[in-house]
Amino acid sequence: METTNLVKKYTEEMIAIRRHIHANPELSNAEFKTTELIKEKLTEYGVEIADIGLKTGVLGIIRGGKPGKTVAIREDIDALPMPELTGLPYASTVENVCHSCGHDIHTTVLLCCAKVLSEIKDELAGNVMLIFQPAEEGGGGAQQVADCKFYEVLKPDAFVGLHVSALLDGGQIGVRKGPTSASSDVFTIKVNGKGGHGAHPENCIDPIAIAGYIITQLQTVVSRENHPAYPAVMTIGSIHAGKAYNIVPDFVEMGGTLRSLDPDCRKNMKDAITRIATCCAEGMRGSADVIWESGVPPLVNDGDVVDGIIAAATKIIGEENVVMLPNPSLGSEDFSVLFPEYGPGAQFSVGTGIPGNPDSKIGLHNSKNVFNEESIDVGASVIIQYVRDFLS
């Protein structure tokens, strides 16, 4: 049977599952009810569940009727710490938690893949690994999966997954070869001075003034130290100092993020931020301590896997609905922890825009954004077709 027809049998069921997950979101590393729902559904579908020691999240295995390679499908399951303001009848029932990044759709797509692929497992020459990953939103979920040695259950020969996109309409997918999402590093700078009376700055070392100069000078990191062929972003997102208008504080603390698409540029910019902060502070009689929290590496899509996705999508939605994305995103995606470290892979975008509905185009991480549920059928069908082709 054609993949599209296999999926459409379960359209209403999957929309109901998605709406239940949407109404009951859970934050990173606390996806306990979501995990139980996934396990319940996988058991119902006859999918093997591998216990690798994850606190939340699930690893499912479908063993094909013939020997062959292994495809790993990965999707994330956590929600964001923000309120939902869509007014939908199935809006979040949890205060200040919602699925405004679309991970409820991701989870449902993977459950649909599990149900259909389990039904047709006898035709598959190889195996399918289903990675329901926890804690993508800064919770280190992909690293948890790696630390639990998922690859000892089966070693993937290819990874595939998707992410919703408000930039594309329902019925479309977007693909890109090479760098697709940026690395993400977080830094904290503590500027140390000498506090005192605001009326006598000559007796002080003002860390606020020093911090101002540091922030200004850090703007040269991207414009003058990064290779211009590789996009990068450096943002100072927080700054805290002092509690009174007439007191020079002893220190200032500020934090920011660095995004890069190239490993060498990433290292060079990290070194530059540390150098500029410390030297600028010393030049103004203070000091600065820079602490780095290294995040995920850039996500780099494998060309062969992307070609396979394009071929599968062309069969499902037609070549005219496969969009070649011209630019990478400076957002990060911890799927990059799993590939290419444990095998080649690629992530594609599935459109969630609704023609004529501006609320569907607001964008991710916005409390009012709504998602086109057509993306469930489209996303699942493309992935299932990719698996059928890869394990044919």
Sequence ranges of the domains in the chain: 3-179+298-390, 183-293
Residue-level pLDDT at 139: 85
Q: Which two tokens stand for residue 51?
A: 């216990």
Buried b / exposed e across 132-150, counting CB within 10 Å, b at 16+?
bbbbbbbbbbbebbeebeb
Residue-level pLDDT at 138: 85
Residue 250's CB: how many other CB atoms inside 10 A? Answer: 16
Element of type H or E holding 11: helix 11-23
The per-residue pLDDT string of the chain (392 residues; one tens digit each, 9 = 90 and over) reads 999 999 999 999 999 999 999 999 999 999 999 999 999 999 999 999 999 999 999 999 999 999 999 999 999 999 999 999 999 999 999 999 999 999 999 999 999 999 999 999 999 999 999 999 999 998 899 999 999 999 999 999 999 999 999 999 999 999 999 999 999 999 999 999 999 999 999 999 999 999 999 999 999 999 999 999 999 999 999 999 999 999 999 999 999 999 999 999 999 999 999 999 999 999 999 999 999 999 999 999 999 999 999 999 999 999 999 999 999 999 999 999 999 999 999 999 999 999 999 999 999 999 999 999 999 999 999 999 999 999 99
Helix (H, G, I), strand (E, B) or coil at 125: strand
User: What secondary structure letter does DSSP report for 98?
Assistant: B
CATH ID of 183-293, from 3.40.640.10, 3.30.70.360, 3.40.30.10, 3.40.50.920: 3.30.70.360
Please state whether the predicted TM-score (pTM) of the whole model is above 0.85: yes
Q: Which two tokens stand for residue 82?
A: 């923000």
C-alpha to C-alpha distances, 213 to 9, 33, 186, 245, 307, nearest whole angstrom: 61, 48, 20, 20, 48
User: What secondary structure letter does DSSP report for 319?
Assistant: G
Q: What tens digit of pLDDT does each residue of 187-220 get? A: 999 999 999 999 999 999 999 999 999 999 999 9
Q: List Cβ neighbours of 267 (8 Å cut-off, separation of 6 or more).
A: none
* Residue 29 backbone class (left: φ over 0; alpha: ψ -120 to 50; beta: rest): left
As a whole number of angstroms, the distance between CA 112 and CA 251 comes to 53
Residue-level pLDDT at 98: 98
Residue-level pLDDT at 136: 97
Residue-level pLDDT at 31: 98
Best CA proximity match to 339, nearest among 388, 302, 385: 302
Regarding the domain delimited by 3-179+298-390, which CATH topology (the fold level of the hierarchy) does it fall under?
Answer: Aminopeptidase (3.40.630)
As a whole number of angstroms, the distance between CA 64 and CA 124 comes to 5
Q: Which two tokens stand for residue 313?
A: 């999508």
Q: Which two tokens stand for residue 132?
A: 């329901």
